[in-house]
Chains A and B, each alone.
Chain A
Amino acid sequence: MSIKDNQLLRFTTAGSVDDGKSTLIGRLLYDSKSIFEDQIEAVESTSKKKGHEGIDLALFTDGLRDEREQGITIDVAYRYFTTPKRKFIIADTPGHIQYTRNMVTGASTANAAIILVDARHGVIEQTKRHAFIASLLQIPHLIVCINKMDLVDFEEEAYNNVLSQFEDFSTKLFVKDVRFIPISALMGDNVVNRSENMSWYQGAPLLHTLETLHISSDVNIVDSRFPVQTVLRPQRDEFIDYRGYAGRIASGIFRIGDEITVMPSGFTSKIKAINGPNGELEEVFAPMSVSMTLEDDIDVARGDMLVRTKNKPEPSQEMEVMLCWLNSESAKARTKYTVRHTSNEQTGIIKEVVYKIDINTLGRKFDDDDIAMNDICKVKIRTVKPLMIDSYRENRVTGSIILIDQRTNETVAAGMIV
C-alpha cells in the first residue's frame, strides 16, 4: 500500500494538568520521529533552563505565550503527525471541569478518544467525565491509557483495578469500542514501542492501536444526505443552462440516476451528473465534496438537502437536544438564537430545560433551568421553520447543531439531537 492510500485518523486527548497528557503527546511525536531538529534543540535548551534532566517531552506541545506564562492550556490545540500507516490529527484539550466546552469541541470531529488515567489513582470523577463526553459526542473508539505504570512497579494489579472500575460505570455509556493500554509516557513503555517491563500485557502498544483501528465503518453509508452549500451557475456560454448543486456529502452514497427528493420542498428528480474534485463520477459517498446536476429544473438553494426518496430525514420544528453551553453569558429564556444545522439556519428558542447533567456524578438534576458555561443539559428547542434532522446517534453531521447569539454573533452552544 502506498502512502497515498493511507487514511486520516482524528483523535482527541483529554486529561488534567498532572496526568501526563502533554508528556504522552510529546512521546508520540518524538518516538514517531515527527519532531524536527530545531524544535528538539529549542526544547532541550528550555528543559535545561528549567532544570530538567534530559528532555521534557511536555514542552513540545507548549502553545501560546498566555498559557506558557500560566502554565496551563486554555483551548484546543491541533497537532499533526504521520506514520507509514496513517496521518493523525490530535485535538489536544485540557481536561479540568471548567474546560468541558473545550473537550466537547475537540471531541466533535474525533474518530477516537484517548483518556488518561493515573495508575496510582485509578478511575476518578474526571475519568468518568471524560468518558461521558466521549460517549455524548459519539466518538466511536475509546482508548483508556493507564499511565505512570512505572510508578506502580509495572504491576498488573493497577491495570486490572482500572479495568473493573471502568466497567462498573461504563455500562451507562454508549461507546462501541473500548480498549485499555498500560503505559508509561515518561519512559516510553507501550506508547510507540512495546514495553519490556509488562510482559503480562498481551495487547498492542498505543501507536499500533491507533494505526489499526477500523474506522471505515464509522461513517454512515446508509442514510444518503446531501446538504446544499451553494448553487453553481457559471456565466460561460458552454454552460448556459448549468445548475450545479455544490456541497459535502454528509452521509451515505449517491449514484447517477438515483431518485432524490429535495427537502423541505418535497420536489423529486433524478441525479443527472456528479462532479468530483477530479472530474465526473458515477458514484460518490461521504465525506466527499462534489456538485450534482438534476434531470429536472427545480428550485434548490443553500440550506436545502437532497436525500434518497426512499430514506428521508424528519422535518422538525421541535426537537430534543443534548446541549453543551459554551459561552460565559448564561442562556436566557425566550431569547432568539440562530440555530445552525448543516448549511441551514433558522431562528429558534430554548423552550424548556428537561434536565441538567451533574458533570461530577453524571446524575440528572431536574428543576434547574439556569444554563451556564460548561453545563450539559437536555433541552427542547423550537424553530420558526423545520430542520431536516436525524438523531445524532445515527448521524453526527445531520444530528448536530450550534446556537448563535443574534445580538453578539457568538457561537454560544453546541447541540446533539436526541
Chain B
Amino acid sequence: MSGYNYSLNYIDELESEAIYVLREVWSQFQNPVILFSGGKDSIVVTHLAKKAFYPSKIPFALMHVDTGHNFPETIKFRDDLIEELDARLIVGSVQESIDEGRVLEEKGKNATRNALQITTLLDAIESNKVDCAIGGGRRDEEKARAKERFFSHRDDFGQWDPKNQRPELWNLFNGKHFEGEHFRAFPISNWTEMDVWNYILRENIEIPSLYLAHEREVVWRQNSWIPKSEFLILEDNEEIVTKKIRFRTLGDITITGGIESNADTIEKVVEEVSAMRQTERGNRSDDKRSETAMEDRKKQGYF
C-alpha cells in the first residue's frame, strides 16, 4: 500500500460526484426525467446516467421541449440516442402550446420561442407528473447559476425563488417535497465548459456534428454567425455567406450563433476551447437582452 496514491484526478472526481447525484435523484423521487435538449451538457448527463445504473438500463425518461425551431441534426441525434438507450421519450411541443393559445408567438426580426418554452416545459412536467427534472446546467455558465443547488426546489408554479433555496451541506441532499412541487437536479453543477469537453474527448462520447467545424450558410448578426433557416428573416443590409463554422452551444436555430472555426475533430475543439477568450453563451442572443436576462427567465422556470 505504501507509495500508492489513493486520490482521484479531477475528472474522475467530478464523474463520481455526478453519478452520486443521479443515484440520489433516482432514490429520492418517484418520477424523475432527464431534460434532453440535444446539447452537449444533456448528452453528458445522459452518458453519466448510463454509467450510474449499469448493468441496468437508464431508468429515466428523456424529456425534450421541442420549440419547432430545431436544427434537423438535433432531432435525428435525439431519436438515435433514444433507440440506443431503449429509453422513453417525452416531447413537449411549443407549437402545440401556441396552437392551444397557452402562449403567444413573439413578433419581429429577433423573435424567438425561447421564452415560450417555459410554459411548455412546466405543462409537460405537470401532465407527466414529473417530480424531478434533471438538467445539464452548470454553475460556471452564467452568474445567475453560480448559487444554484444540486437539488433545486421549485414551487407549485414551477418557479425558482433564489431566496428560498434549501441549504446544501456535504453531500446530504434533501429532495422532500409536497404534491405539485418539483425539483430540478444538476449533476454536473461543478463542471466547466472545459471539463465537459475534456470528458467528451476522454469518453469518446458521440455528439451532434454541429459542434464540429463545417461549411454552412450564415448571416452576421449580433456578433455571431446565425444559420440560414426557414425562420430567418433577412434585413436589407444583411447577406447570406458561406463560412466554416461550429456551434459552442445548441439552442434554437433562430438564435444560436456559430463561430468561425477549423476545429473539425473533438481534439481540435478541446484545443480551441482552452484558448478561447469569450464565454460560450456570448453567442446566444437570448442572453444579450439585458444584464439579468438569464436570472429573469430562471425565476419563471427556465432550465
Q: Which A residues are within 8 Å of any B CB, using their own CB?
A: 3-8, 36-39, 42, 62-66, 74-80, 82, 86-87, 89, 101, 104-105, 108-109, 215-216, 219, 221, 229-230, 232-236, 239, 242, 244, 246-248, 253, 275, 277-278, 285-289, 291, 302, 326, 338, 340, 342-343, 396-397, 400-402, 404, 409-411, 414
* B109 within 8 Å of A (CB atoms): no
Which of A8, A215, A244, A401 is within 8 Å of B14, CB to CB?
A: A8
Instruction: List 13 extra interface pairs beyond A232-B56, A343-B27, CB under 8 A.
Output: A36-B282, A38-B279, A39-B279, A66-B163, A78-B189, A232-B55, A236-B55, A277-B16, A285-B6, A287-B16, A409-B176, A410-B174, A411-B166
The answer to whether A253 and B163 touch across the interface, beta carbons within 8 angstroms, is no
- Can you offer 22 A-B residue contacts whose CB atoms are under 8 A? A4-B9, A8-B9, A8-B10, A64-B147, A78-B147, A82-B194, A215-B7, A216-B7, A232-B55, A234-B55, A246-B23, A248-B16, A248-B171, A275-B55, A287-B8, A289-B15, A289-B52, A338-B176, A340-B172, A409-B174, A409-B176, A414-B167
Whether A396 lies near B170 (C-beta < 8 A) is yes
Q: Kindly specify which of B77-85, B124-132, B136-144, B211-219 makes contact with the partner chain.
A: B136-144
User: In the complex the two chains form, what is the Cα distance from A135 to B176 in whole Å?
Assistant: 30
Cβ of B176: which chain A residues have Cβ within 8 Å of it?
Answer: 338, 404, 409
Asked if residues A410 and B166 are in contact (CB atoms below 8 Å), the reply is yes
Binding site for A on B (CB under 8 A): 5-17, 19-20, 23-24, 26-27, 51-57, 139-140, 143-144, 146-147, 162-163, 165-172, 174, 176-178, 189-190, 192, 194-195, 198, 202, 276-279, 282, 291-292, 295
Cβ 8 A contact of B146, one of A79, A82, A233, A253: A79
Q: Give min CB distance, B209 to chain A, whole Å.
A: 25
Given A87-B10, A234-B55, A288-B8, the answer on whether A64 and B143 have CB atoms closer than 8 Å is yes
Given contacts A289-B23, A289-B52, A400-B169, contact A78 B146 (CB under 8 A): yes
* Neighbouring B residues of A404 by C-beta, 8 Å: 174, 176
Asked whether A65 lies within 8 Å of B292 as measured between CB atoms, the reply is yes
- Determine the main DSSP class of A at the interface with B: mixed
CA distance A387 to B216 in the complex (A): 60
Q: How far is the CB of A89 from chain B (nearest CB, A)?
A: 6
Partner of B53, one of A78, A89, A232, A397: A232
Contact A78 B190 (CB under 8 A): yes
Q: Which of B9, B23, B163, B189 contacts A6 (CB 8 A)?
A: B9
Do the beta carbons of B147 and A77 come within 8 Å of each other?
yes
Chain A residue at minimal CB-CB distance from B139: A78
A372: shortest Cβ distance to chain B, in Å?
15
Number of A-B residue pairs with CB-CB distance less than 8 Å in the complex they form: 177
Please tell me which one of the listed residues A6, A82, A275 contacts residue B192 in the complex, with CB atoms under 8 A apart: A82
Residue in A closest to B9 when the chains form the complex, CB atoms? A5
If A404-B174, A411-B166 touch, whether A219 touches B278 (CB-CB below 8 Å) is: no
Which residues of chain A come closer than 8 Å to B13, judged between CB atoms? 7-8, 287
Residue numbers in B under 8 Å from A89 (CB-CB): 190
CB <8 Å contact, B55 and A244: yes
Complex contact B23–A230 (CB within 8 A): yes
A289, B16: Cβ atoms closer than 8 Å: yes
**Central interface residue in B5, B26, B144, B174, by most chain A CB within 10 Å:** B174
Chain A contacts for B14, CB-based, 8 A = 8
Which residues of A lie under 8 Å from residue B282 when comparing CB positions?
36, 38
Residues A246 and B7 in contact in the complex (CB < 8 Å), given A4-B202, A64-B295, A104-B169 = no
Nearest to A221 among chain B residues (CB) is: B6
Q: Which residues of A contact B163 (CB under 8 A)?
A: 66, 74
Contact of A219 with B6 in the complex, beta carbons under 8 Å: yes
CA–CA, A246 and B189, complex, Å: 21
Contact A248 B20 (CB under 8 A): yes
Chain B residues closer than 8 Å to A244, beta-carbon distance: 55
